[in-house]
Amino acid sequence: MRENFLPAFDFHRTFVEPWSAYFDNTIWIVVMGFLVAATCGLIGCFIILRRMALVGDAISHSLLPGITLAFLLTQSRDTLPMMIGAIAAGVVTVALIEAIRQSSRIKPDAAIGIVFSSLFAIGVVLISVFADSVDLDAECVLYGEIGWIPLEDQVVLGGHEIGPLPVIRMAAIAIIAIGLLLAFYKELLVTSFDAGLAASLGINPGRFQYGLTLFLSVVIVSSFESVGVILVIAMLIFPGATAMLLTDRLPRTLWLSALFSALYAVLGFHLATWLDASIAGGMSVVAGAVFTLVWIFAPRRGLLMKYVFKSHTNVGSSQSSQAEMTAS
């Protein structure tokens, strides 16, 4: 409890305390934040390339009825039923969007909006009707809070405590994501950039689209506890989009997005602790700030460079922008 919105400046409080107060817990929270952001960021690069950013938004919203139903049916908060509920919700969302798009003249963007808002509304209704029996909080799903993840249950491996269960679980998902990425890198690359070429090479683009959607649901459901369904979108899009302003190569984009994720986790945690605010919110604010900085100062594509370049050589810039257009 405090009186003022912004805390008064105090060097120790501002720069040291967030890291010194409860370091044992702190480090796990930051690690968790990094894992969430990195996994989302990795899959997010492909989501951006496929112009599915708002499908991700839709899926993350429709998880609410999925996990609520899973919870109502099993009466447990175990990972497995939640996962199944979430994956089912993801599949239903994508299938419904496709169904509306194909059976009517509704454009995909409107279809996305209709489907996710209806499913989300169903979720909120379910939670409020079964409020007594549902131990889920709609607002918790909306915001999420890394600070609340249970750190007590430690995973013990070979007699050593290696870390809290949720963090290890997220790490496992991150490793699976990296494994899948390495295994199917070429296919993902081709289907993301040129579905026609992929089909002619014997890769089924539809299958990869669905696979990616499924995995997206898994990632979102494992992240929502920490960052909430809406800020998952921040973690999905910001790392990749920021990286894409800096480079044109996909591998470099992926590395950079992981780097940015670490930045979000550390700075976001710091900001949130200092301001006494939601950590997920802090991470998104940092993500937005980093994007803005890159947007302005990026070496080749930054606003500043464009401005400087334009004011000196007008002809050259128009040529280069033309070249860019043909390249894209």
Contacting residues toward another protein, per CB under 8 A = 1-5, 48, 51-54, 56-57, 61, 100, 103-107, 109-110, 112-114, 117-118, 120-122, 124-125, 128-129, 131, 138-139, 142-143, 228, 230-231, 233-234, 236-238, 241, 244-245, 271-272, 275-278, 280-285, 287-288, 291, 295, 301, 303, 306, 324, 328
Residue 26 or 204 with smaller CB distance to another protein: 26
| Closest distance to another protein from the beta carbon of 291 (Å) | 6
CB of 288 to another protein, least distance (A): 3
Residue 171 or 223 having the CB closest to another protein: 223
197-228 b/e (C-beta count within 10 Å ≥ 16 → b): ebeeeebebeebbebbbebbbbbbbbbbbbbb
CA dihedral 38, 44, 45, 46 (to 10 degrees): 130
Closer of 106 and 176 to another protein (Cβ): 106
Q: At what angle do helices 205-246 and 279-297 cross, to 10 degrees?
A: 70
Of 152 and 276, which CB lies nearer to another protein in the complex structure?
276
Q: How far is CA 92 from CA 57, 95, 124, 234, 319, in A?
A: 14, 5, 17, 23, 46
Compare residues 95 and 303 and give the one whose CB is closer to another protein: 303
Decide if 214 contacts 90 (C-beta within 8 A): yes
Please state, in angstroms and rounded to a whole number, the distance separating the CA atoms of residues 64 and 74: 15
CB 187 to another protein: min, Å = 22
Q: Least distance in Å: CB of 19 to another protein?
A: 19
Closest contact distance (angstroms) between CB of 206 and another protein is: 20
One-letter identity of residue 273: T
Distance CA 64, CA 86 (A): 8
